[in-house]
Amino acid sequence: MKAYKTDKVVYIETLEGTMKANSGDWIITGVNGEQYPVKPEIFEKTYTIVEEDAE
């Protein structure tokens, strides 16, 4: 799974419809390419960063 932290407000098309991600939220991409916004406090409790890209 890939994830990145957004630095601006973005709207993402998800399987459940359009969702808003605020600055500081994580955008995760699932195994089928689907994307979802995740609040930082939820991300930190749920996921472990194993590698960071230099992008």
Q: What is the pLDDT along the chain (55 residues), one digit of tens a residue?
A: 899 999 999 999 998 999 999 999 999 999 899 999 999 999 999 998 887 665 5
Cβ neighbors of 27 (< 8 A, separation 6 or more) are 3, 4, 5, 6, 10, 12, 21, 35, 36, 37, 38
The model's pTM is 0.83
Domain spans of the chain, in order of start: 2-46
> Residue 44 belongs to what H/E stretch?
helix 40-46
